Structure 1
Amino acid sequence: MTKSPRRAGRPSTQVLTEERILKAAFALSAQRTARQFTMTALAESLGVRTSALYHHFANRDAVIRAMRGQVSRALVSPVLHEMPVEDALLTWAHSYRDAAIAAPEAMVMLATSPIDADEGSFADYEQIARLLVADSWPTDTIVDAIVALESFIIGSALDALAPADNMAPGALAAQFPTFAEAEAARARLSTDPARRTFEIGVRALIHGLTAWARESTT
């Protein structure tokens, strides 16, 4: 009896890789709450046994660390002496917001999970810390500045997902005329008010943090 020739082409099932798992993890984070984001749910979304995931990730926290690392690698990290400090922080903030908008639900989970052992995030923070130390910022101001910026950036990314007219009072405009006119004036200035607000806010925040840090040295 002769054997049938081996069929050429792709296997009938996809090979499970870290890249494929992470892609599914980001998709799952858009469908489930942080509590519902489990290894079992992730395995089900991939159509594999839960045990198959453990060949790639030790546990749920390891998956989340890898997700955060992937986000961190998408950021434009400030480089020493490449540009003025405020411009470097602004460039970083814009890239961070873009990454957060691309995966908003995941960012909420990542922002509330431990960072420990996430080399990608710490490498990013290290670059910022070196930038600020070189600019004579006191070391005790650096983490506060990073957290303040991250909090604003993530909040701004969530705001970007809201309808452009989400601040309009609508039928209540007559009751609140001053605010209604202010909102209308803002709408006339930009077709993307969330981005405009982010630009104003992040520049003000960076400028204020820089002034605060320099005052701390006196």
Structure 2
Amino acid sequence: MESPDSREASTQAAPRRRGRPPSPVLSRGKITTAALAVVARVGYEGLTMAALAHELRTAPSALYNHVKSKDEVLNWVQDDVCETIDTSGFGAGPWDLALTRWAYSYREAFAPHPPLIPIIAVFPVAGAPHTLAMYERVAAGLRDGGWPEDMVVDVIVAVESFVLGSAMDVSAPEGIFDVGDRPELAPTFAAAVSARPARGAASADTAFGLGLSALVAGLRGTLAAVRATRG
């Protein structure tokens, strides 16, 4: 017969049942982080719901309880990255300074994720509220800065095209401009490459700053010409 002492010891040794976790095991943040990891490792084509579930160490059926499709995952990824982009300059100062600040922040946000750039560059923004909010602030800032409404999107696209290309340049390999063992085919270019400081973050930053300054200066001139023409 079991003694009271042994029953008490058995009760104390028994593990306590865990209560319901305060939040689901899967969350938007965890799914987005896992999606970024998959894309970085195997590219966009490798981002499937099965691969994402494997990355999260869960069953695809469990994943579908939290996200409807791969497109929704990409919307989340786009939104999370774009939410970090600084648009605070718009409405607080001249449009060209705000645009420059936005461009630097935009590049900084996407530079760590080069595999995402070709995807996000052509992905619809309808399901990404933070992305839409970003565009709204930029559009309002350009309009208030004097840009005609019919040119606002063109300005945004022009800057974005340069920024996203520059974000990819950050991760370009060291020898991308190496002419190899045939310098006689491009002697001027080879000399220019040799004269340029070693590639790296500083070199990429210099090229970006030069290009952005030229782009913004060109936009200022364009706006002045448009104002003179349209009155």
Give the TM-score normalised by structure 2.
Answer: 0.83
Q: Aligned partners of 1:99 and 1:188: how far apart in 2?
A: 24
Instruction: Mark the structure with the bigger radius of gyration.
Output: 2
The equivalent residue for 2:146 is: 136
AA aligned to 1:206 is V
1:64 correspondence with 2:69: no
Give the match's secondary structure for 1:216.
helix
The equivalent residue for 1:213 is: 223
Per the TM alignment, residue 54 of structure 1 is displaced from its structure 2 partner at its CA by: 2.2
The equivalent residue for 2:54 is: 44
1:101 correspondence with 2:111: yes
Larger deviation: 48-57 or 95-104?
A: 48-57
Give the match's secondary structure for 1:192.
helix
Larger deviation: 165-174 or 183-192?
A: 183-192
The equivalent residue for 2:172 is: 162
The equivalent residue for 1:16 is: 26
AA aligned to 1:37 is L
Give the match's secondary structure for 1:113.
coil
1:179 correspondence with 2:196: no
The equivalent residue for 1:79 is: 89
Q: Aligned partners of 1:104 and 1:177: how far apart in 2?
A: 31
Q: Indicate which of 95, 111, 128 corresponds to 1:118.
A: 128
The answer for unaligned runs of 5 or more in structure 2 is 1-6
The equivalent residue for 1:29 is: 39
Cα displacement string for residues 58-89 of structure 1 (whole angstroms, at most 9, x for unaligned residues): 22111111111111111011434423222211
Q: Aligned partners of 1:76 and 1:173: how far apart in 2?
A: 43
Moved over 4 A (4+): 188-191
Q: Aligned partners of 2:201 and 2:122: how far apart in 1?
A: 32
Change (3 A) 1:190 1:158: closer
Q: Aligned partners of 2:90 and 2:176: how far apart in 1?
A: 40
The equivalent residue for 2:208 is: 198
Q: Aligned partners of 2:210 and 2:223: how far apart in 1?
A: 20
Alpha-carbon contact 1:115-1:121 (below 8 Å) kept:
yes
Alpha-carbon contact 1:164-1:194 (below 8 Å) kept:
no
Alpha-carbon contact 1:141-1:213 (below 8 Å) kept:
no
Larger deviation: 119-128 or 164-173?
A: 164-173
Cα displacement string for residues 183-214 of structure 1 (whole angstroms, at most 9, x for unaligned residues): 22222799732211111111111221232233
Give the match's secondary structure for 1:205.
helix
Q: Aligned partners of 2:36 and 2:104: how far apart in 1?
A: 21
Alpha-carbon contact 1:100-1:157 (below 8 Å) kept:
yes
The equivalent residue for 1:53 is: 63
RMSD: 2.5
Identity of aligned residues (%): 35
Larger deviation: 207-216 or 89-98?
A: 207-216
